[in-house]
Every structure is written in C-alpha cells, then in structure tokens.
Homo-oligomer: A and B are copies of this chain.
Amino acid sequence: MFRNSMPRYEVLSADAMAALDQGWRRLVSEIGVEFMSDRALDLFRAAGQRVEDNAVFFDPDFVLEQLAKAPREFDVAARNPEHSIHIGGDAMAFGAVYGPPFVRQGEVRRDATMEDFRAFTKLAQSFPVLDSAGGVICEPNDTPLDSRHLDMTLALQTLTDKVYMGNVVSGVNARDTIEMSAILFGGRDVIERTPVTISLINCNSPLRWDDRMLEAQFEYSAANQPVVLTPFLLMGAMSPVTVPAALVQQMAEAFTGIALSQLIRPGCPVIFGSFLSNINMQSGSPTFGTPESGLGLLCTGQIARHFGLPFRSGGAMTSSQVPDAQAGYEALMTMLPTFLAGTNWVMHAAGWLDGGLVASYEKFVIDVELVQMLQAQFKPLEIDEASLAFDAHQEVGHGGHFLGAAHTMERFRTCFYRPLLSSSDNYERWMRGGGVDAAGRATKIYQQRLAEYERPPLDDAVRAELEDYVQRRRKELGD
C-alpha cells in the first residue's frame, strides 16, 4: 500500500488551532449533540454526561479522554495478506466511490444494477492502486432491498481479495456483514483480533446521530471493526457557510461519535471522518472540488493529527454530469489536497460523477490515473551522485541531448511515471489513432480490464458456506 513520506501541507497557525479547539468545546457543552438511541444515551448518562431528551451536553475533557483510548494506527486484514492495509500514520488507502444510485457508461445514464456492482468490484480488484472496492460502489436497484446487503457483501468478498466496507443500513445488516466476515476469515475471534472491514457511520448533521446508523455502529464497535464517524457537511445546508464553523462542527460531531465507540468497546478502532463541501448558494445544488472544500480538507488533516486520530477525507469528487474537463479538474482539486493532507482512508477515490449520484465507468479510469500520478509524485527525491548525473553531462556536453546517454539508457524504463490513460501523442499520430479524447480512451481501458479480469482464488468450502449463509438469510428476511 502507499505510504506518503512527503511533508504535510499545514495551513493553520497555533492560534487558529486554539480557536478551533475552543469552538468545538463550546458546541458540545452548550448546544450539545443529539443521539437518537436510548442505548447511546444510557452509556453517556452512565459516564456522567448531562442528557436532556436526546441531547447530550458534554464535558469536553471527557470527550478527549475517550479519544485518547482510540488507537492512533491499526491494521485491517484482507483475505489476501498482500492486500491488507494499515490505517493511520503515513499510510494512505484508497477505495472506490460509495453510494451512487445511477451509473454512466459512455452516453448512457441509467439505474445501477447488481451487474454494475459486480463490474465495478472487478475493476477495483484489477487496479493495484486501489486498496478496496469500498462498500456500496453503486446501489444494485434490481435486487430486493432487504437482502441486497447480502449480495453486495458476497460480491465484495469473492470478486476481490481486498479490504471491503461493511453495510450500515441497520444493525441487522451490520450483524450479517460481521457474520459473513467471520466465515471468510475463520471465526469471530479472528476478526476481533485484527479487523477486516471498515464501516461508514454518517452524522445527520448538524449535531445529530440517527438511530439506524448508531445501531450499525454498536455492532461494528462491539466487534472491534473500525467505523468512520463522518459529519456530512455541505456548507450552507448542514453547516454554516464559513469554513471555520464547518471545522468546529465537524470536530464536535466526529469527536462525540468517536466517544460513543470508546464507551461501547474501549480501544476499538475508529477513524475521524470528513465529508466537507459546500452548496451553490444560487441554486442550492451541492458542489464539489471547490476552493472551500480543498481548504477544509487541508485543515481537517491537521486537526486529525493534532488530536492523534487517523482520518478519512478527500476523493475524486465532481459536480460534472460527464467525464469532461470539469470532471478532470474538480477531481484533482480534491485529490491533490487529499495527498497534501496525507489522508489515511480515502473513499470515493474512483468513479464518482454527478455529485456522487452516478458511478461512472469512464471516470473510474480517469480517477485511477490521478491516484497513480499522485502516488508517483508524493515520493521524496533521492539525491545522490547517481541522480545528480554529473557523468551524463560529461558525456553529452553543451547543446547536446540526453536521449542516448548511458545514464538515460540505464533508467529509461522506470525513470518517469507511465500513464494509464493520458496521451502525449502528437496531432498526426492522435488523429491516425481515431482522434479519441480521454473519456473515449477510458471506455476502451475499462472494457479491456473487465475482459481480462480473473477471480482471485478462494477455498471452495468457504465460498459454499458464504453462499449458504446468503441463501438462508435471504429466506429469513423474506426475499
């Protein structure tokens, strides 16, 4: 997996950090945070926090005591050990887009299906730069709602051998994910020792954690599976329009969600989540890849490090409807800050289009190219006698060229990043090749990847047990 050993780009002064620190303390103690779950309220009450109706008014120092119990870094195992990942420190892990109900394939935009879900899962498996297919890579609208999570989890477990995300629609779904994970990895004790899933718990911002998400959180935290406590902030709608206000709200929400996990199971792994962008104040539409979201991302990383928490943020977001120039630059407007901030867990790293409503086959390939390029860029320079190449200058002299120099010949295969998608063909050559733009070339690439896909090996008995489980549970759920 990728380790980002370049410096972090930090933009908050010590004074700014102190002001933000005061901000979240004031929010959690004076406005409080709502938890729509009696179990959660009971835990907080028992821990000495003031509870009124569903609102918990926190002692900020109590919250920090809970945060201190969470591990700063941890491992998540994949069934192929080569694909296991580390969360925290300088490690960065990348998962595909999460949640779109629609897909775009060339000129066609339509409802996503289970076949799409499987196809995207295969694509995620086929690109080494992705550490995970994610979870809800698209919504398989042609499968029954109650048992859909079983089909999705089975696909993630069998079509990839990478880390996958857990279903969070309800506590029931979470339990099924945990059961199936126990089957795949050889028992609940095994997955409690080293977690094998990551699950996304979104806040119903502002300052409210909803019951269904909390039910899932209870299951995952109890099973020692990491949850990403994520304030869902589109500034102007779910948070005030100013970045500092969004940051303190994000801290208040994420920190209190994390505190809950530490009450459920002290020491269980958590990830400080961030999903931070803004709306277009003229139309109310969500916007992505904006200056404000990029700035917020840089601050989020610095805040997470300040509090010793691994964090999730970033991705390849765009508001564009098609994989055009806007999709390219907006994706990078988020993805480059994602690297500058050293984001540990990067959801939506491939395939996001149309504000997250669409999983795009072409955009998937574009985004993989971006992640690959940035992984190549975020490597410290090696400066030594060989890389300074004095001998090459002695060989080439003034006004010459280095194409045939010995220094070049020894390195030409690996010296530069080799693109997956980008073309540097000159005009004549590009026209001879059909004059195909990046989106058109992406079509060919994903089709070829799917054609060449090979299912990673899996023990037949385990596969059968998983399939039995799905069949049994599907019946029990009435589908």
Contact = CB atoms under 8 A, between A and B. Distances in A.
Given A381-B11, A416-B235, A424 B319 contact: yes
Contact of A242 (B30, B278, B415): B415
A194 interface: no
Nearest to A249: B393
A141 interface: no
A456 interface: no
Instruction: Among A295, A384, A413, find the residue whose CB has the most chain B CB atoms closer than 10 A.
Output: A295
B402 A238 contact: yes
A23 to B, nearest CB: 5
A379 to B, nearest CB: 8
A448 interface: no
A239 interface: yes
Interface in A357-388: 357, 366, 369-370, 373-374, 376-377, 380-384, 386-388
Interface stretch (A12-20, A183-191, A460-468): A12-20
Contacts of A401: 206, 237-238
A415 B291 CA distance: 11
Contacts of A388: 19, 23, 242, 244-245, 248
Nearest to A411: B241
Contacts of A471: none
A194 to B, nearest CB: 33
Contacts of A235: 415-416
B323 A206 contact: no
Interface stretch (A123-131, A143-151, A264-272, A330-338): A330-338
Nearest to A210: B399
B390 A27 contact: yes
A240 B396 CA distance: 10
A398 B430 contact: no
Given A240-B405, A438-B320, A399 B208 contact: yes
Interface string A313-339: 000000111111111111111001000
A432 B54 CA distance: 44
A355 B422 CA distance: 13
Contact of A325 (B325, B376, B398): B325
Interface stretch (A40-48, A83-91, A223-231, A282-290): A282-290
Contacts of A423: 319-321, 326
A297 B392 CA distance: 22
A243 interface: yes
Contacts of A285: 424-426
A308 to B, nearest CB: 22
A435 interface: yes
Interface in A1-24: 6-7, 9-12, 15-16, 19-20, 23
Given A235-B416, A398-B34, A416-B281, A387 B424 contact: no
A127 to B, nearest CB: 17
A280 interface: yes
A27 B396 CA distance: 13
Contacts of A336: 332-333, 336
Contacts of A384: 19
B240 A16 contact: no
A415 B7 contact: no
B16 A438 contact: no
Contacts of A387: 242-245
A182 interface: no
Interface in A204-234: 204, 206-208
A26 interface: yes
Interface in A95-144: 109
Instruction: Among A15, A30, A321, A328, find the residue whose CB has the most chain B CB atoms closer than 10 A.
Output: A328
Interface of A: 6-7, 9-12, 15-16, 19-20, 23, 26-27, 30-34, 54-55, 109, 204, 206-208, 235-245, 248-249, 278, 280-292, 294-295, 299, 319-333, 336, 340, 354-355, 357, 366, 369-370, 373-374, 376-377, 380-384, 386-390, 392-394, 396-403, 405, 407-408, 411-413, 415-419, 421-427, 430, 435, 437-439, 442
19 contacts: A7-B9, A12-B381, A16-B383, A32-B398, A206-B400, A208-B399, A240-B392, A244-B382, A245-B389, A285-B425, A286-B424, A287-B416, A287-B422, A289-B422, A290-B417, A319-B422, A319-B424, A325-B439, A327-B328
